[in-house]
A and B are shown apart, each in its own frame.
Chain A
Amino acid sequence: MLRATLSSLWLFAIPKEPFGLVLLYPATILAAGYHFWHSSQQGLRLIGLAALWDFSVGAWLMIASLAKRRNALVAALVELKDCEYTPVGLEQFITAEQTTFMHKMSTLTYLGTWGLPIQHEDSVEIYLVSIGQSATIPDSLGSFNLPFLGATLLIRDHPEDAEVSERFFFWHEIGHTLGAEFALQSGLFKGVKSPLTALVLSLFVLGWNAYSLVVLLMCFVAIGSLFVLLAQRRTFQRIVSEMRADEFALKFLSPEDARYIEAHSEKLLPIDREFSEREHSHRATNIRRFVRSGKSFVDDQLNTTTFFVQSALLATSLIGWMVLLSRYISYSPQMMIRNLKWLLLVMIIANCARYVFFYGKGFFVDFILSGRIRWIDGKFKLQRPVPRG
């Protein structure tokens, strides 16, 4: 338990580079800057409270990121109304060799080695969807991934009974549950919201003059640049995630099936409305290259170093402008501590309420998938549990 807690803090709460620092702890940077310029006895207390504030804003954004996916699942289940759901165990058709490969690729399994209580197989729930009286069917093969809480896959055919392309699509969706994109998705979702909130709050404590106005403007320019960089990264990351999932899926097909997918990749890949024709074609080309050579070319296109350098430069410049901005804060430390305490209290209550709401929706999802809640006479109704067997 202690190891898991310490690992979680190290992995998720300790920034490893300037980019992580400014996105996770912007208010702390402002408070530390304030203490640097106007050293006072209350300075360290203010930094501690600011760190707690940043932590709670981070928690709020994390819950929001989780809630977004769960809300999408709830919306899909509500739209599917009277469909029946049959659970399908991944262990029913995955071989030992495939399991080993999946573990090798899984971030969740990696986190398990750090002591976090996560197992990949336990975190993936697969349901076979059967049509009901309302004749509603899912318009996609969908995987609802909740970072670290698990993934729910809604499929129409049992993978063992499915055609080659369906099996490819199935393993493709399993590829999305591996967790590598969880952290990135979550990070990209949070974006610049946290530093933006800190800057907006700083408007209330600033002493206004020409210098503070210019520095504030520069802070917003730096945030704007980070926002643009993250937006570009988000679009690019989406296609890269798809290509990675394609490569993962191809590893689970027999050589003949992989060759079939290679030969028909352009036609078989459904048109994704979020991608351009060029991106669609690029994805099909990647499949062909991967089948022929067995090598991944996705990493060649990621330009991780370029992104790291760009983000580090922008983040460092934002940190610099924020530290300079804290020089123009005119409030006394006592006033700021008092206000921050109230804000923190409100944030903690809001976080708890949002988490309870999020958790409650989880019950709704479980009850629909297990048949405890059914669509009867135009509305969802709670049913008595039916004894199995």
Chain B
Amino acid sequence: MQNPDDSPLLDSVLREVFPDACSQVGKANLRDIIARKGQVQFASMEGASRLDLSLALTLLASGAAIASHVLTFIKNSKDIGSKSPPEIILQSKISLSPELMDKLEPATLDKLLAALVSRTQMNTSAPGSDDAHKLPNQQRL
């Protein structure tokens, strides 16, 4: 399960990068996808009269999986606090496995990483923000 403190951060990142998909799938689906770091399975409703949400759900699950991985990477990197956002984005991208990289279009991936990094930095600079999202070096400072 995802660290519960990361859920609001992931929620806001996914809502920023995939606003239409979030709106389509609704609260419960988004909550479950975030809580399970995108590791969800989809049951087909084939044969029903249905509104097919599979594309939006797959997109969000991919986004959540990548965002969770990058968040863990940033937290575990000791020297990342001294780097600029573009450098962090580049390092985060390098840390992704080919399977994770292939889940999203390059432009969407860049947008997701930028949103995630900016949120992480925003949280560290905001007074009284949650320590869970602080970069290791900045936490020490």
Seen from chain A, the residues whose Cβ lies within 8 Å of a Cβ on chain B are: 68-69, 71-73, 75-76, 79-81, 130-131, 134-145, 154, 156-157, 161-166, 169, 172-173, 176, 241, 264, 267-268, 270-273
Contact A76–B55 (Cβ < 8 Å): no
Number of A-B contacts (CB under 8 A): 121
Kindly state the separation between the CA atoms of A161 and B36 in the bound complex, as whole angstroms. 22
Contact A139–B32 (Cβ < 8 Å): no
Chain A residue, CB-CB nearest to B56: A270
Known: A156-B28, A157-B26. Is A140-B52 also a contact (CB below 8 A)?
yes
Kindly state the separation between the CA atoms of A46 and B135 in the bound complex, as whole angstroms. 87
Chain B residue, CB-CB nearest to A131: B32
| 27 A–B contacts from the bound complex (CB under 8 Å) | A75-B44, A75-B46, A81-B43, A131-B28, A135-B32, A137-B29, A139-B42, A139-B44, A139-B57, A140-B48, A140-B50, A141-B51, A142-B45, A142-B49, A143-B48, A144-B48, A156-B26, A156-B28, A157-B26, A161-B27, A162-B26, A162-B27, A163-B26, A165-B24, A267-B20, A270-B55, A272-B51
Nearest-Cβ distance from residue A358 to partner chain B, whole angstroms:
15
Nearest-Cβ distance from residue A301 to partner chain B, whole angstroms:
20
Contact B55–A271 (Cβ < 8 Å): yes
> Could you say which residues of chain B place their CB within 8 Å of the CB of A156?
25-26, 28-29
Count B-side interface residues using an 8 Å CB cutoff.
Answer: 29
Nearest-Cβ distance from residue A86 to partner chain B, whole angstroms:
12
> Could you say which residues of chain A place their CB within 8 Å of the CB of B53?
139-141, 270
Kindly state the separation between the CA atoms of A73 and B56 in the bound complex, as whole angstroms. 22
> Could you say which residues of chain B place their CB within 8 Å of the CB of A81?
43
Contact B48–A79 (Cβ < 8 Å): no
> Could you say which residues of chain A place their CB within 8 Å of the CB of B43?
76, 79-81, 136-139
Known: A69-B47, A73-B48, A270-B52. Is A136-B40 also a contact (CB below 8 A)?
yes
> Could you say which residues of chain B place their CB within 8 Å of the CB of A273?
52
> Could you say which residues of chain A place their CB within 8 Å of the CB of B41?
134-137
> Could you say which residues of chain B place their CB within 8 Å of the CB of A130?
28
Kindly state the separation between the CA atoms of A80 and B42 in the bound complex, as whole angstroms. 8
> Could you say which residues of chain A place their CB within 8 Å of the CB of B76?
none
B54 in the interface (beta carbon within 8 A): yes
B129 in the interface (beta carbon within 8 A): no
Contact A139–B54 (Cβ < 8 Å): yes
Task: Choose among A69, A164, A267, A270 the residue with the greatest number of B CB atoms under 10 Å from its CB.
Answer: A270
B12 in the interface (beta carbon within 8 A): no
Contact B40–A137 (Cβ < 8 Å): yes
Nearest-Cβ distance from residue B61 to partner chain A, whole angstroms:
10
Kindly state the separation between the CA atoms of A142 and B49 in the bound complex, as whole angstroms. 6
Contact A143–B49 (Cβ < 8 Å): yes
Nearest-Cβ distance from residue B136 to partner chain A, whole angstroms:
30
Chain B residue, CB-CB nearest to A185: B49
> Could you say which residues of chain B place their CB within 8 Å of the CB of A157?
26-28
Nearest-Cβ distance from residue A234 to partner chain B, whole angstroms:
14
